Amino acid sequence: MTVRRKVAWVTGASQGIGAAVARRLARDGWVVAASARSTDKLEALAAESDAWQGSVEAFPLDVTDEAAVTVVYEEIEARLGAVDLVILNAGTHQPIAAADFAVAPVRKLIEINLMGTVHCLAPVISRFVERQSGRIAVVASLAGYRGLPTASAYGASKAGLINMCESLRPELQEQGVVLSCVTPGFVRTPLTDRNPFPMPFLIDANTAAARIVSGLAGNRFEITFPRRFAYLMKLLRVLPYALYFPVVRRVSPRRD
């Protein structure tokens, strides 16, 4: 009698947190469907998995293409079997100063970070509810807790993800589906390497992946880290505006 290996789908898996999570799961014996736009990076990641207990299979995808998302998800299940775990991590960041505020960069971040996740959630939720089982993790950010300077678009997209997950969690639980929201702080990735300011409590992608995977072993809604930074952001979340804005002005990097 053969035991079916568990199948996970990870988006944004070509680098950073997504790639680290895919590696971690595959080493633990999962069959991982890895999606991102970069075919070369996905194939390189898949080649690494030859020595692991599980495996990584490349499924290139642009999450902003709604029709393509459904096709790829159906292909994953046709090739690998029913998906047990979905980690929706695809996203990007672009700082936008108030003086440079424009439609195009805001639309880009909303389309990738928020709508890209929505495109993935739609077919996944439909299939998981039908089966009355499944685990979903949506990667948002501590930046979604409150508005921060230069993060008007990024923060809005992540706040939208958090709110959406809060809305979906109770209903999905009644259908046997567990939804968690991952809210990391600063994680060293190619995106954060471009930040021109000090990043408090910075951790590496492998540490972030370990926190995510261990958090998914339980049933809690929020998986957040690093803990000290999360506590700080939670405190800012409850401050009244009369206190919040002076604090933010004081700690924000000054523009020349």
So what's the pLDDT on residue 202?
A: 80
So what's the pLDDT on residue 194?
A: 67
CATH of the domain at 116: 3.40.50.720
In-domain check, residue 1? no
Range of the domain at 79: 7-251
In-domain check, residue 112? yes
Query: pTM of the full predicted structure?
Result: 0.93
Q: Which residues contact 139 (CB under 8 A, 6 or more apart)?
A: 12, 17, 87, 88, 89, 91, 182, 184, 212
In-domain check, residue 256? no
Domain count, the chain: 1
Question: pLDDT digits over 194-233, tens only?
Answer: 665 566 678 899 999 999 999 999 999 999 999 988 998 9
In-domain check, residue 63? yes
Q: Residues with catalytic annotation?
A: 154
So what's the pLDDT on residue 4?
A: 75
So what's the pLDDT on residue 3?
A: 64
In-domain check, residue 224? yes
Name residues of the chain where pLDDT drops below 70: 1-3, 191-200, 253-256
Question: pLDDT digits over 31-42, tens only?
Answer: 999 999 999 999
Q: What residues form DSSP beta bridges with 204?
A: 188
In-domain check, residue 50? yes
In-domain check, residue 162? yes
